[in-house]
Amino acid sequence: MWQQQIRVNAPYDFSRVLERLALDPLSIVDIERQQLTVPLYIRNIPVAVSVQSIGEKSNPAFLIEAAHPELKEEIIKRLSHIFQWDVSLAPIQQHFLQTELRQLFLEHEGTPLILDFDLYFCLVKCLIHQQLNLKFAYRLTERFVKTFGMEQDGVWFYPRPEEIAKLEYDDLKALQFSGKKAEYIIDTSRLIVEGKLRLDELAHAADEEVAKVLLPVRGIGPWTVQNFLLFGLGRPNLFPKADIGLQRAIQKLLQLERKPSMEQMEALSKHWEPYLSYASLYLWRSIE
C-alpha cells in the first residue's frame, strides 16, 4: 500500500461531495471519517482507492491510499480529474455571486462537479437512468453491477463492456430492464468492444464532435449526450434545458407559477455562462 497527500485550491467542500455520492447504494462512503472508496480500472487492473478529506473547506487536503505503487501516478491523475482538484472554484463562485443564483452559491459554496469513475460506466448509467425516477434508476444500476460486476476490497467494480457484450437481452430483462433499454446497453457495449465506438477518444473532442459521434448510436439522445459530457467528460458549460429537475429548481428559485419555458431557460442561462455546468449542479442540489 502507498499513501500520498494532495492539497487543492479553496473553497472545496468534500462533505457536499460525500452527501451526493451517498445517495447511490453502490457508493462506499463514510461520512463521519469523510472518506470514500473509489473503484478504478487502471490499465484494466481493478484498484480500490481510499480518498479521505484531512482538511476543511477553506484549506482542503486529501489522503490517498491504494495498492499497486506502479500505478500511483496514473491513479492520482485520474482522481484529480474525477474530483476536479485541478479546477479552481473561487472564480466560479465570484461569477455566480453577481447573478440570480447568488443565494445558491453562498449556501453550497465549494461544491465541485464530480465525474463518474469510468467513461463506459458513465454512458451505461445514462442509458439506465433515462426516463426513470432517481430511486428506481439507482436500484436498477445496483442490480446491474451486482449481477455482472465484481466485488473486491469491499467495493463493487462495474462490469466491463466485454462482459456486457456477451449477454442476451433477456439477461437484462430478468433484472426488470425494459426490452429497449436492454438492447441499447448491450448493443452499445458491442460497438465499444468491436472498436466502432471509442469513448477514450471523445475526451479530447469538442462538445459538438462528441454529440456527432454519440447521437447516431441507437438509444442515445440529446439528454444522454449532455449528461455524458457533464458527468463523464467534465465539460464546464452545459445546461440541459429539457431536464425536468432543472426546470423544477428554477421554478422554485424564482417562485414561478409554472415551470419555465425553453425561452425563459435560454434567457436565464445567458447570465451564467461560461460555467453553465455549475449552475446546473447547484440548481439540482437545491431540490435534492
Does 119-231 carry CATH code 1.10.340.30?
A: yes
Read off the pLDDT of each residue in 213-221 and give the average, rounded to a whole number.
Answer: 97
**Residue appearing with cell numbers 443564483:** 101
Going by their DSSP bridges, the two strands 28-30 and 150-152 should be labelled as: unpaired
Locate CATH 3.30.310.20 in the chain.
Answer: 2-87
State the virtual CA torsion across 158, 227, 84, 278 in degrees, nearest 10.
-150
> Residue 105: what pLDDT?
96
What is the tens place of the pLDDT at every residue in 224-280?
999 999 999 999 999 988 888 899 999 999 899 999 999 999 998 999 999 999 999
> Residue 243: what pLDDT?
85
Q: Which residues neighbour 206 within 8 Å (Cβ) at sequence distance 6 or greater?
A: none
What is the tens place of the pLDDT at every residue in 88-123?
999 999 999 999 999 999 999 999 999 999 999 999
> Residue 99: what pLDDT?
94
C-alpha span between 238 and 235 (Å, rounded): 7
What is the tens place of the pLDDT at every residue in 137-154?
999 999 999 999 999 999
> Residue 95: what pLDDT?
97
pTM: 0.93
What is the tens place of the pLDDT at every residue in 50-70?
999 999 999 999 999 999 999
Task: Judge residue 125's burial from the number of C-beta atoms within 10 Å of its C-beta, 0-12 exposed, 13-18 middle, 19 or more buried.
Answer: buried
Residue pair 124/219 in contact by the 8 Å Cβ criterion: no
CATH assignment, 2-87: 3.30.310.20
Phi, psi of 50 (to 5 degrees): -85, 130
> Residue 121: what pLDDT?
95
Locate CATH 1.10.340.30 in the chain.
Answer: 119-231
153 carries an active-site annotation: no
